[in-house]
Every structure is written in C-alpha cells, then in structure tokens.
Amino acid sequence: MKKKLKIAVIIFVFIMSQIAGLQPILANDVFEWVVEPTYYYLGPIGYQYHHGTGLIWPFYDGMKSGYMNFNGVAREPVYDFAEPYKYGYARVMVGGLYGYIRGDNRGFLIEPQFGHAGDFEFDDEGSASAWVGGNNYIRQTRYYSEEWGGFYTQEGDWEIIPVTLEERGYTLVSTDEGVEFYEKIHPYIDGAARVERYYRNNGSDYMGYSYVNLNGEQIGGNYESATDFNSGVAVVIADIDSPGHMSYGLIDNTGNFVYGFQKDIAFMGGFVEGYCTAQQVSTGKFGVVKLSQSRTITVNSLGYILNFDQPPIMESGRVLVPVRKILESLFISVDWDDDTQTVIATEHIVGGFNEIRLTVNSTTAYVNSVAVELEVPPRIVNGRVLVPVRFIAEASGRPVEWDAENMTVIITQGNKSVG
C-alpha cells in the first residue's frame, strides 16, 4: 500500500507540474538574488530570537558550520553541523551528538548528548518540546517575565518524556490492512493550513503533505514535502521526474503555482519575511533570494500601518482582517456575543451612532438594522475573528483603496465626521 500511495502522489504532482509548465514563470519575475549564490551551503532562514526577530541562517564553509545574517557571520563555524533557528533555539551537532543553542549567543541550552533530535515546538502554555528519538521528547519550560514582557528559559530545566502521535497533535483517521493513517492540520497562515499525513506500516513510515483552505477543502496537490505559508507563498517539493530527484516550486494560497517546478532553483526551507536561502542548481552554489513583489497583506488605517497577531488573509479576492484591531484603529468600539458568534460594532457620530453586526460564517451583515449581503463571511482563524475590511470601512463611511502592487489596503478618513 505504501508503494501505491507514493506512486499516486508522484503521478498527481507530475500532472500538476505539467499544467503549471504550460505557462512558464521566469525566476526573475518572482524573486531576485539579494545574496549572490557563491556559498558552499546555506540552510533555511529562521528567527534568532523567540519573539520572532533577527533573521539568521546556517552556513557551512567546507569544514565546520556556523550562522550568518545580512551583516555577515553571526556565530563562528565551530559545529559539525548546524540546523536552522526556530524562534530562539537551534540544534547543532558536535562529535556526532545533537544539542541545542540559544539565540542570545550564551552557549548551549542543552549540551550535545542525543543521537537524534528535532526542532523545538511550542505549546499554548509556553513550554517547548523537541523529538530526541523514538517516542521520546525533551520538554523545556519557558517562564514569563512581567518585568520585561517576554519568555525566558533556564539551563538544565528540561526532562525527557514519552510523547504519542496524538499528544503531538495527530489524529488517527483510519486503519486499513495494518496501515495506520494519521493527520495533523497546522495553524492557518495567509488563509491556508498545511496538512501532514503520516502513514505507519509495521515500522515503515511515510509522510505526505497538502493544504486546505478556510472551508476545509484541499487546495493544490499532494507533495513529498511542504512548508507553512509565509510572505504569501509556500515551498512545495516533489520527485516528479525520477525517484529521489526533488523539484521545488512555490504556490499561493489558492494552490496555484507562483513559480512552477523547475530544476535550477532549490529553495532551502520556506520564505521568512519575503526572504529564503536557495541553491542555484546549475552552479551548485547557495545564496539568498527575495520575493520581487510583496505577497504579504498590509493594512494602512488612517495613516498608520497596523500590526496583527493573526495576519490578514485573502479569500475569493476579498481581504479579511482581525476585527478588534481594525475597528479600534477606526475609533469604533467592539463587543462580542459568544452565544451567536456575532461581532457588534458601535460608532458614535454627529447626531447619533452607527451599529454594525457581523456573524461568523454568515454572509448577511447588518448596518443600522438593514441587511447587507457579503461576498465573503467573517471567519475564525487561529482563535481570531476576521472580517472583510472593505465592508467595515465602507459601512463606517470611510474611503478604502487596494494597492495591488504592494498588497496594501488603504483606509482614509475622507469627509467622515465623528462625534
């Protein structure tokens, strides 16, 4: 069954690649080299610090591995092998064993002692865990400091614990002829979620990947490997020509190819803030590419760029944004009716007030009790309520524009008078 599944994946992705190949996309139309491909090896870009700042990536000089950023070498090449940073931690190999280092250059968080190791993953309680072989995980506790408003860790404050697939977020979907099929849906980013499909067959495992949209419908194809969306794109990988020969492509959140499967570019991990390390296959050298056009949605509300903890998304050509942030930026108060999943926005104006009501997953909204049909309903994404931004702006009487080139929503005050 494992072989049949893999053959099916290869055939499907090959067909998808041929469809994309009907309209070839040139690399220069999608991205540009900002660090020329002259390096022996560069690993995927990550964040040096846990709060999501400090772009950094591994490099290999032919002898040892270290880390670098746009300013040059950030951590000297003293490791046998270096893995990418993930929110403040990175795993490195010394003497054939893995350990973990911090982003603050203070040495090891956990000394090298594991034959196998994975990246740290964080839960809602602020604890981090990483796979270290078999079903065993190490759990590193993070503590929150109110003094400086962030998490911190303490060396040695970790333990080895057994963790099942279910505890790692996988759901057992089916069991067929001894093959267990698990599935894990990652958080939604840019309106799409990465789906891991894990097949376990008598000790022989196989991973497959795909994506679903906000309706739970699959977008794009099935892939050998895939990244979460970032900067509006995701990197997908498949062996479309011959077994073991991986080809790389970029898709948008509708599943369409931004950059079709081609052989001259191999992306190292996913894009971060529009940047990605990549290998120029023709030369074998590594550099850093940047997306030529922004694919991350920005919102300019009354002259201010808004920062969201859940990024805006685009669905069916409409931009949805976190409701509380956008309403408060327009000086509109907001309430939430949890029983009916309804947003109630109230704005005081000269001579009275406006009231706007939107219900999650409903295409009918109300402005001062008058029904208005929406093209796209409000959604709950990663615990945040997202609403159509154009509707909100226009319902409150403010002009709104869409700058397609810079992927920016611009809301202005216009002639609006607020009481």
Burial class (CB in 10 A: 0-12, 13-18, 19+), 307: exposed
More confident of the two residues 352 and 273: 273
Q: Is residue 417 part of a domain?
A: no
pLDDT tens profile 204-253: 778 899 999 988 899 988 998 999 998 889 999 886 655 556 788 889 88
Q: Is residue 261 part of a domain?
A: yes
**What domain range includes position 319?**
298-411
Q: Is residue 367 part of a domain?
A: yes
Burial class (CB in 10 A: 0-12, 13-18, 19+), 97: middle
Structure confidence at residue 143 as a pLDDT band (50, 70, 90): low
Model confidence at 102: pLDDT above 80 = yes
Q: Are 254 and 177 found together in one domain?
A: yes
Q: Is residue 71 part of a domain?
A: yes
Q: What is the CATH number of the domain that holds 354?
A: 3.30.457.10
Q: Are 356 and 240 found together in one domain?
A: no
Model confidence at 418: pLDDT above 70 = no
Model confidence at 277: pLDDT above 80 = yes
Q: How many domains does the chain have?
A: 2
Q: Is residue 419 part of a domain?
A: no
pLDDT tens profile 34-93: 999 999 999 999 988 866 678 999 999 999 999 999 999 999 999 999 999 987 889 999
Q: Which of 272, 291, 310 is the last residue of a domain?
A: 291
Q: Are 261 and 376 found together in one domain?
A: no
Q: Which of 254, 276, 291 is the last residue of a domain?
A: 291
Q: What is the reported pLDDT for 175?
A: 87
Model confidence at 167: pLDDT above 90 = no
pLDDT tens profile 283-315: 999 999 998 876 778 899 999 999 888 888 888
Q: Are 142 and 160 found together in one domain?
A: yes
Q: Is residue 122 part of a domain?
A: yes
Q: Which of 257, 291, 325 is the last residue of a domain?
A: 291
More confident of the two residues 352 and 333: 333
CA distances 244 to 10, 97, 127, 234, Å, are 11, 27, 36, 21
CA distance 113 to 322: 44
Q: Are 348 and 208 found together in one domain?
A: no
Q: What is the CATH number of the domain that holds 39?
A: 2.120.10
Q: Are 149 and 230 found together in one domain?
A: yes
Q: Is residue 333 part of a domain?
A: yes
CA distances 245 to 8, 12, 248, 291, 332, Å, are 16, 16, 10, 25, 55
Q: What is the reported pLDDT for 388?
A: 94
Q: Are 200 and 344 found together in one domain?
A: no
Give the mean pLDDT of 387-400.
92
Q: Are 263 and 238 found together in one domain?
A: yes
Encode the chain in three state secondary structure.
CHHHHHHHHHHHHHHHHHHHHCCCCCHHHHEEEEEEEEECEECCCEEEECCCEEEEEEEECCCCEEEEECCEEEEEEEECEECCCECCEEEEEECCEEEEEECCCCCEEEEEEECCCCCCEECCCCCEEEECCCCEEEEEEEEEECCCCEEEEEEEEEEEEECCCCCCCCEEEEEECCEEEEEEECCCECCEEEEEEEEEECCEEEEEEEEEECCCCEEEEEECEECCCECCEEEEEECCCCCCCCEEEEECCCCCEEEEEECCEEEEEEEECCEEEEEECCCCEEEEEEECCCCCCEEEECCEECCCCCCCEEECCEEEEEHHHHHHHCCCEEEEECCCCEEEEEEEECCEEEEEEEECCCCEEEECCEEEECCCCCEEECCEEEEEHHHHHHHCCCCEEEECCCCEEEECCCCCCEC
Q: Are 59 and 175 found together in one domain?
A: yes
In the sheet with 89-94, reading across from the earlier edge strand, the strands are 81-82, 89-94, 97-102, 108-114
Structure confidence at residue 177 as a pLDDT band (50, 70, 90): confident
CA distance 255 to 219: 5
Q: Is residue 418 part of a domain?
A: no
Q: Are 179 and 75 found together in one domain?
A: yes
Q: Are 382 and 253 found together in one domain?
A: no
Q: Are 176 and 285 found together in one domain?
A: yes
| 44, 268 contact by CB (below 8 A) | yes
